[in-house]
């Protein structure tokens, strides 16, 4: 059986937890965050950086234990406290320096905090419907980008970061995300979700742009580290961050768009 199909089976539990929502989704996203942090810190070490992994895992655990809507004081405290304490470590152990501190705290924000927006989006009013936008936008963007690039791609998008991606593929991904989110918005409006359709068009456009940025950002990290994949956890897909790189960015877009423009 093709490894990509086997890998898809590994991702099937995600759909179950999205349907269950609540604390079950929160625990699942926390598990993804821990695995993602492990991959991020492991890849960082390829460049002789020494992230303080234990600190990152600890911050992640405390963050999810306290996770709730509008609980920004806890997040800010964790970031400040984490940086504060990590700056004390190089004084005692000169193997570590400020770069290690930066990479450690960046991993916490990039992986743990970005992942948490999946759960936080599900906690909105209509959240059980709206959280799917994160995935629909990313998956349809990836799919349309792949086929548009395959059949029409001629001009390279970012050859130094991802040689196979094309401008035509990128535009196809953007269009696919917009179409998919708009159709989904129309469908869920029939189930009582009272949000104007234009909001889905905007979210689709923003996710179509920034989910591709998420993909390229993850690629730039791997290229700098000189690795092909973050891990081999998911057959045919690489690691958690390989599969969720675009979703991480889409989750940020959807959560803050809903926060600032829909439910403000």
Is the Cβ–Cβ distance between 120 and 75 less than 8 Å?
Answer: no
**How do residues 141-163 score in pLDDT, each as one tens digit?**
999 999 999 999 889 998 888 88
Distance separating alpha carbons of residues 164 and 40, to the nearest angstrom? 23
Question: Closest by alpha carbon to 203, among 143, 153, 150, 252?
Answer: 252
**5 pLDDT band (50/70/90 cuts)?**
low
Is the Cβ–Cβ distance between 81 and 66 less than 8 Å?
Answer: no
Q: Which residues contact 180 (CB under 8 A, 6 or more apart)?
A: 136, 137, 140, 204
**171 pLDDT band (50/70/90 cuts)?**
very high
**How do residues 15-74 score in pLDDT, each as one tens digit?**
888 888 899 999 999 999 999 999 999 999 988 899 999 999 999 999 999 987 777 788
Q: ∠ at Cα 168 (164, 174), nearest 5°?
A: 105
| 3-state secondary structure at position 165 | strand
Structure tokens given for 14? 């995600």
């Amino acid at each position: 059986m093709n490894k990509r199909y086997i890998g898809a089976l590994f991702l099937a539990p995600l759909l179950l937890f999205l349907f269950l929502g609540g604390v079950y989704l929160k625990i699942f996203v926390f598990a993804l965050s821990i695995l993602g942090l492990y991959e991020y810190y492991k890849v960082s070490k390829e460049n002789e950086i020494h992230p303080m992994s234990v600190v990152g895992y600890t911050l992640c655990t405390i963050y999810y234990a306290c996770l709730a809507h509008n609980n920004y004081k806890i997040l800010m405290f964790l970031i400040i406290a984490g940086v504060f304490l990590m700056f004390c470590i190089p004084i005692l152990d000169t193997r570590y320096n400020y770069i290690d501190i930066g990479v450690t705290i960046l991993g916490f924000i990039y992986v743990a905090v970005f992942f948490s927006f999946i759960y936080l989006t599900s906690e909105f009013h209509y959240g059980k419907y709206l959280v799917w936008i994160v995935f629909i936008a990313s998956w349809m963007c990836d799919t349309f980008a792949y086929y548009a690039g395959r059949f029409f791609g001629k001009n390279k998008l970012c050859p130094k970061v991802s040689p196979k991606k094309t401008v035509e593929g990128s535009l196809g991904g953007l269009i696919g995300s917009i179409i998919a989110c708009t159709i989904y918005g129309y469908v869920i409006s029939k189930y009582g979700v009272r949000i104007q359709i234009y909001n889905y068009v905007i979210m689709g456009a923003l996710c179509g742009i920034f989910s591709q940025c998420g993909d390229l950002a993850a690629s730039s990290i791997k290229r700098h580290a000189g690795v092909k994949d973050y891990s081999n956890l998911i057959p045919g897909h690489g690691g958690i961050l390989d599969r969720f790189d675009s979703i991480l960015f889409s989750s940020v877009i959807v959560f803050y768009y809903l926060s600032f423009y829909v439910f403000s």
